[in-house]
Amino acid sequence: MKARRLWPFSFLLALALTGCALDPTRLPLDSTREQAVQRLGTPTATYPMPAGGERLQYSRAPSGFAVNNVDLDAAGRVVSIRQELEDGMFDITVKPGVWKTEDVLRSYGRPFEKSRVTSFDGEVWAWRYKAMNSPRLFYIYIAPDGVVDHYHTADDERLLMTDQ
Give the per-residue pLDDT at 2: 56
* DSSP-assigned letter for residue 65: S
Residues 26, 129: Cα–Cα separation, whole Å: 20
Confidence at 72, pLDDT banded by 50, 70, 90: very high
Give the residue from 41, 60, 83 where a domain finishes: 83
* Residue 120 and residue 164 share a domain: yes
pLDDT > 80? residue 27? yes
* Residue 100 and residue 79 share a domain: no
Residues 84, 128: Cα–Cα separation, whole Å: 11
pLDDT > 50? residue 144? yes
Considering only the C-alpha atoms of the chain, give the largest distance between any 2 of them, rounded to a whole number of Å: 66
* Residue 104 and residue 162 share a domain: yes
How many distinct structural domains can be found in the chain? Answer: 2
